Amino acid sequence: MQSKLWTAILAAACLITSAQGAPAQQSDVSMSNATGSVDGVLKDPSGAVIAGARVELRSTDTNFHQTRISDHLGHFSFISVPAGAYELTITASGFAGQVLGPLSVAAGAELTEDLPLKIAVEVATVEVEGQDVSSIAASSLKVQASDASQSHNSADMLADVPGVSLHGNGELATIPFLHGLGDERTKIVVDGMTVSSACPNHMNPTLSYVAPAQAAQVTVLAGITPVSLGGDSLGGTISVETPAPAFAEPGSGLHESGVFTGFYRSNGTNWGGSLSEAIATEHLSLGYVGAFTTTDDYTDGAGRKITSTYAQSTDHALTLVGQYGRNFFAATGSFHHVPFEGFVNAFMDLTHNNATSLNLRYRRTFNAGSLDAHFYWQNTLHEMNFLSDKVAVDGMGADMPMNTHGRDLGYLVRYEVGLSARHTFRAGNELHRFRLDDWWPPVPGMAPMMGPNTFININNGRRTRLGTYAEFFTHWNSHWSTLLGARNDTVWSNAGDVQGYSSMYAADAAAFNAENHSRTDVNFDLTALARYDASAHAAFEFGYARKNRSPNLYERYTWSTNMMAASMIGWFGDGNMYYGNVALKPETGNVISGTLLLHAQASRPWEIKLTPHLNFIQNYIDVDVASMSMMGMGTPLLRFANHDARIGGGELSGFATLWSNDSAGTGRLSVSGAWLHGTRTDSNTPLYQMMPLNLRLAFDEEAKGFSGGVGAEMVDSKSRLDPNRMELRTPGYALLNLHAAYQTKHLQGGFRMDNLADRLYELPLGGNNIDIYSATGMMTPVTGRGRSASINLTAMF
Ligand SMILES: [Cu+2]
């Protein structure tokens, strides 16, 4: 029993002092202007600091109440605290909650106390990738089962996050953009794992491999990213974590828990569900998550069926986790199967995508730090062809198999240590290797256009990135903290020789094969970020980051200028024709950004966050027009090429609590808006696919297990258009949604109605409707989903 109840010390004790700037009206007993501060460092009995703990300071006689999260050094600080009596509640992952008090905060007196903190050990601290970010610009999304069942895919869950815009790409493969930089310009990691798109149309981006039901937390860092979470990124980092494992409490026998979810959405007859189950002892936990979703084509606001929007997928993941003292390990094996997924904005559909992956993690905590190691592997088999909608629009029972085999392999090791009470040092090394084969078997009777040989699009493509970084986090005083980091990523890429279907492709193949394909990029990233906590109500953060992304294998090594072959390349959903450029240089972004946070955590909390940002990008991978109109198709042939660019913008987000009390519950108004302006600087033309000005407003109410709300999304017209890509204008629109849910201890049921007024609108980042183009020769933007009602049910057992 004694070994379970450890005694720890709030080291540096609790320094309870008067603030220097407070008026020294000591004789005034009411002291309404007098403020003090509460500082401390949380340590466990072994002296290791406790990071990420929730520290609540609550007045015992007024409604003053504030919360802090302890930083990497276990440090927390409350400033401008009115004089009075307080209680401090400490909740740390893995430790029982602890209440300390009464504490006396007084003006004009300096007092140091040693407060013994008893902590019962329940589980080891599980610190997940991306959680140890002290940036106020970061957005962290805790995924609830009901959120998961309301999203078509994991990227859709980010719709409300400031700075994120979503590029429509199949029903299961939405691609998030951060500050106008999307797809592989944004670093996306799932439990520390990086997976490259193994498809010339990016039908299988990283987030398509994690079902919404498998995600527990998503952290979004747009713009300035700590180098520890960077590498191969221009836009920022999105980190997805799966749920932390449950363990049995000591002496309580086996722990068993599970969650079942089911949902149905009317538009497109979309239904599915998930099942997760965990069984655990004190030291070992075995978990399973399975998810299934299937959907038919949706209808837009004009009642038209949008062809090639059907899809189905199945996911299974099995995780074994162990914890012994300061050691934690996890092994996850997963299988992802998509039998079909239509792509209305591509010439091809996905007809098969199977991925098998393994992710191993090990973590050890030391007295003043921790060591994390990951190893991962994924094997992806991807096939494209035409599904029934496309066969119907082409009217000829067309067949064109295209196969891709991708293999991702990587490790990452990170070490973090508290050098002193104020300084934390982090260093890491990581490797990601992607191997790619992309080939298109001959179609009988279709030579020389599609036979008699196999078309080799990418032959034994290899891209290996080795990254190394070092980073210092310093908490100078209760006002200032800084983050400084540098990293190097060396990227080696190469690909073998190619061939076309027939001699009509021979000239391009010969020209490509004559080139030296081996390229080495040496990239240096820097991050310098400073944060100033002016008071309990205002904080300001600003900084600079230099970030790099090396070209992907499709940008460098696709080679055919043939109209048909080039129309198969590209992940922009636009029907344009693309081919690669071996000589491409890495893209280098220089980001300047700041975030102003104003907030209050009184009885009715509110918050306003404003983030302006500016990114000067050298060698942005854009396109050169090789030919404006091939054989009367009216779409340009484009070659990837480096050009300088600039993206500026701003985000505003916030919320206000309108009321909060025991009888009427809570009412909250929230807002999130973003503006972007992207320009290619050498030609002074608009950058491609920049999300227009947009604003989201929501009113939500919660009381006694009931929650409900209304939301509005307003998007301006997209009128700044890239002339080289023949980008189409999309008009502005406004959509309304409503939702309601009721929750008991074990059950939750929800109802939601999207696009309430059944508006017809065009998606600014949804690409063009290629099915309509194939049938009529007219290029039009893809229209969004019309009114859709959905219900979901979650049971926890
Ligand atoms: Cu594909």
Give the containing element (helix H, strand E) for 299: strand 298-299
* Distance between Cα 568 and ligand 1 center (Å): 9
Any idea which of 97-106, 199-208, 241-250, 763-772 has the lowest mean pLDDT? Answer: 97-106
* Distance between Cα 175 and ligand 1 center (Å): 14
* Distance between Cα 786 and ligand 1 center (Å): 27
Q: Which residue has the tokens 């929501």?
A: 698
Residue 725 DSSP SS3: helix
pLDDT band at 45 (very low <50, low <70, confident <90, very high): low
* Distance between Cα 262 and ligand 1 center (Å): 29
Any idea which of 79-88, 480-489, 703-712 has the lowest mean pLDDT? Answer: 79-88
* Distance between Cα 383 and ligand 1 center (Å): 6
Any idea which of 115-119, 330-334, 574-578 has the lowest mean pLDDT? Answer: 115-119
Mean per-residue pLDDT, 527-532: 92
* Distance between Cα 192 and ligand 1 center (Å): 24
Query: What confidence score (pLDDT) does residue 247 get?
Result: 83
- Give the closest residue to 748 by CA, choosing from 706, 702, 698, 709: 706
More confident residue, 145 or 93: 145
Query: What confidence score (pLDDT) does residue 115 get?
Result: 44
CA dihedral 17, 22, 28, 29 (to 10 degrees): -40
Q: Which residues contact 724 (CB under 8 A, 6 or more apart)?
A: 622, 623, 624, 625, 636, 638, 685
pLDDT digits (tens, 9 = 90+) for 146-160: 677 778 888 888 888
pLDDT band at 43 (very low <50, low <70, confident <90, very high): low
* Distance between Cα 355 and ligand 1 center (Å): 13
Half-sphere exposure of 102 (CA within 13 A, CB side): 10
Q: Answer whether 158's CB lies under 8 Å from 365's CB.
A: no
* Distance between Cα 438 and ligand 1 center (Å): 10
Residue 486 has a CB neighbour count (10 Å cut-off) of 16
Query: What confidence score (pLDDT) does residue 80 get?
Result: 60
Query: What confidence score (pLDDT) does residue 46 get?
Result: 53
- Give the closest residue to 400 by CA, choosing from 387, 385, 416: 385
* Distance between Cα 515 and ligand 1 center (Å): 26
pLDDT digits (tens, 9 = 90+) for 424-473: 899 999 999 999 999 999 999 888 999 899 999 999 999 999 999 999 98
Q: Answer whether 48's CB lies under 8 Å from 73's CB.
A: no
* Distance between Cα 443 and ligand 1 center (Å): 18
* Distance between Cα 348 and ligand 1 center (Å): 7
Any idea which of 78-87, 241-250, 251-260, 584-593 has the lowest mean pLDDT? Answer: 78-87
Query: What confidence score (pLDDT) does residue 474 get?
Result: 87
* Distance between Cα 347 and ligand 1 center (Å): 10
Q: Answer whether 559's CB lies under 8 Å from 580's CB.
A: yes
CA separation for the pair 586, 710 (Å, rounded) = 44
Residue by residue, DSSP assigns 15-52 as EEEE-TTS---TT-SS-TT-EEEEEEEEB-TTS-B-TT
pLDDT digits (tens, 9 = 90+) for 249-280: 888 889 898 999 999 999 999 999 999 999 99
* Distance between Cα 349 and ligand 1 center (Å): 7
Which backbone phi and psi does 770 adopt, to 5 degrees? -75, -25
Mean per-residue pLDDT, 29-56: 57
pLDDT band at 92 (very low <50, low <70, confident <90, very high): low
* Distance between Cα 204 and ligand 1 center (Å): 7
* Distance between Cα 401 and ligand 1 center (Å): 10
pLDDT digits (tens, 9 = 90+) for 729-739: 999 999 999 99
pLDDT digits (tens, 9 = 90+) for 346-378: 999 999 999 999 999 999 988 778 899 999 999
* Distance between Cα 677 and ligand 1 center (Å): 30
* Distance between Cα 238 and ligand 1 center (Å): 23
* Distance between Cα 203 and ligand 1 center (Å): 5
- Give the closest residue to 42 by CA, choosing from 107, 100, 102, 1: 100
* Distance between Cα 199 and ligand 1 center (Å): 4
- Give the closest residue to 677 by CA, choosing from 180, 313, 284: 180
* Distance between Cα 296 and ligand 1 center (Å): 19
Q: Which residues pair with 291 in a beta bridge?
A: 274, 315
Is the pLDDT confidence value at 5 over 70?
Answer: no
Mean per-residue pLDDT, 100-107: 65
* Distance between Cα 558 and ligand 1 center (Å): 14
CA separation for the pair 236, 182 (Å, rounded) = 9
